[in-house]
Each structure stands twice: as C-alpha cells, then as structure tokens.
Amino acid sequence: MQVKNLLEGFLTALYPFDAKCFACGIEAPLNAACLCEACSIKIRRAGELTAPDGLCGLYAAFYYDEPLHRAVHSFKYLNARYLARYFAATFSLPELWEFDVIVPVPLHPKRLRRRGYNQSALLAALLSKQLGIPVEGPLLRRRLETKPQAGLSSAKRRENMLFAFCASNAVRGRSILLIDDVVTTASTLSACAMALNEKGAAKVYAACFCTAPLIH
Ligand SMILES: [Zn+2]
C-alpha cells in the first residue's frame, strides 16, 4: 500500500492535475469532466459507434470538435502527458463489452524514440487502473513506420495501414480492448483488429478519446 501511495505521489508530481479546463486551458468553474462551460457546450459526447471491419465494438468519448484540437495536439506532439488523466476520466465504456486485456495502438519504435512516449499507452495505463484490467502492450507491435495519416484520403490511409501491425500468438482466445487517442477513418483500428484476429483473438473492441464526425 505504501509503495502504491509513493508511486501515486511520484506520478502526481510528474503529471500535475491542475484546475484548468483541459480543452481551452483557462481557469474557470469546471464540470466533472474538467471542462469549462463554454467548452462543454461546444464539445459533443460520442458513445458507442458503428464498428468498422474486424471490430466487435467501437467507442469514443467525444467527437473531435474544435475545442479539443488544441488539447489533442498538445497531448500527441507537445509532451502534454498530464492530459491523459483528463482524457481517460471521460471514458464510459458500453456495459456489455467483455474483454480481459487492454492493448494500446502501438507506435513504430523509431517514432516512439523520437516522441519519447506513446500517447495511447498513457491512456491505456490509466484505463487499466480504472477498470482493473491489465495492459499488455507487447501483444501488438507496429512493424512498418507508416507516414503521418493527416491529409490523406481514406483509401490511401487504408493502403498505408495494411500489414502495418503484427500480433503475438499469445492473443489466441483472448478478448482485447484496443486504445487509441483519435479515430479519423478507423483504418488504423481496422488494421490492428485484422492482425489480432489473424492470430486468433476471440473479440476485439476499440475505445478512443475522440473521433472524427464521419464515423457514426
Ligand atoms: Zn474550456
């Protein structure tokens, strides 16, 4: 217990949990999701969405509306790792989903070295704590360094992603929850699910912090 408290204290010091709206960054009265009133009016909750090929279910906490752009960009590219706490706290997964392991969408090792962290793994670690279900990152790895997906057509994204991931044989018979930060066309999640299903995963679900409005 003491070790756990020490660890929590250490993590809090590393990733301070302040009282600013996580989307716009202003200090203001916040709701339970740590959003100011102006942002909570503009941001739309998402929920369970139509699952793309290979997935049994897809969930997003929010749509990727304008007030979230700044926070998501800082989380992905500007080392704002502390945002994982705010993001993870907004997840409310469908009750019927049953999974026994959490797997973050992996970055290619080169990109991970450049960025220093995998933002989806930060979310996965916090969700693991919230749900009491273990994270096993090594079950899925990225074997190709895909080009950044922003600005590409959905056909091009799919082509980019085909065979980008490789799953471990240890996924056989297991039900997996994939975690990603932003879903744009679901081509990444479909490619992950394809790799996991190929190795005999029983079920693959995916949850992300936000989704492009295209996916309903
Ligand atoms: Zn705000």
Count CB neighbours of 112 within 10 A.
Answer: 14
Say if residues 49 and 60 touch (Cβ distance below 8 Å). yes
Please tell me the distance between residue 26's alpha carbon and the centre of ligand 1 in angstroms. Answer: 6
Please tell me the distance between residue 4's alpha carbon and the centre of ligand 1 in angstroms. Answer: 32
CATH assignment at residue 142: 3.40.50
Is residue 13 assigned to a domain?
no
Residue 16 — pLDDT band, cuts 50, 70, 90? very low
Q: Which domain holds residue 161?
A: 44-211
Please tell me the distance between residue 41's alpha carbon and the centre of ligand 1 in angstroms. Answer: 9
pLDDT at position 25 over 70: yes
Please tell me the distance between residue 20's alpha carbon and the centre of ligand 1 in angstroms. Answer: 8
Is residue 90 assigned to a domain?
yes
Please tell me the distance between residue 67's alpha carbon and the centre of ligand 1 in angstroms. Answer: 7
Please tell me the distance between residue 181's alpha carbon and the centre of ligand 1 in angstroms. Answer: 19
pLDDT at position 1 over 50: no
E strand residue ranges, 12-114: 45-49, 57-63, 101-104
| CA dist., res. 123 & res. 130, Å (int) | 11
Instruction: Please work out, in degrees rounded to the nearest 5, the angle formed at the alpha carbon of residue 69 by the alpha carbons of 178 and 57.
Output: 25
| CA dist., res. 208 & res. 110, Å (int) | 23
Name the residues around ion ligand 1, CB cutoff 5 A: 21, 23-24, 36, 39
Please tell me the distance between residue 141's alpha carbon and the centre of ligand 1 in angstroms. Answer: 35
Is residue 12 assigned to a domain?
no
Residue 53 — pLDDT band, cuts 50, 70, 90? confident
Please tell me the distance between residue 72's alpha carbon and the centre of ligand 1 in angstroms. Answer: 13
Where b means 16+ CB within 10 Å and e means fewer, 11-49 reads: eeeeeeeeeebbbbeeeeebeebbbbeebbeebeebeeb
Is residue 86 assigned to a domain?
yes
Residue 207 — pLDDT band, cuts 50, 70, 90? very high
Residue 41 — pLDDT band, cuts 50, 70, 90? very high
Q: Count of domains in the chain?
A: 1
Please tell me the distance between residue 178's alpha carbon and the centre of ligand 1 in angstroms. Answer: 28
Average pLDDT, the chain: 88
Give me the mean pLDDT over the 61-71 stretch.
Answer: 93
| 3-class DSSP assignment, residue 87 | helix
Please tell me the distance between residue 68's alpha carbon and the centre of ligand 1 in angstroms. Answer: 9
Is residue 157 assigned to a domain?
yes
What one-character DSSP code corresponds to residue 8?
A: H
Please tell me the distance between residue 148's alpha carbon and the centre of ligand 1 in angstroms. Answer: 28
Give percent of the chain above pLDDT 90.
67
Give me the mean pLDDT over the 174-202 stretch.
Answer: 94
Is residue 82 assigned to a domain?
yes
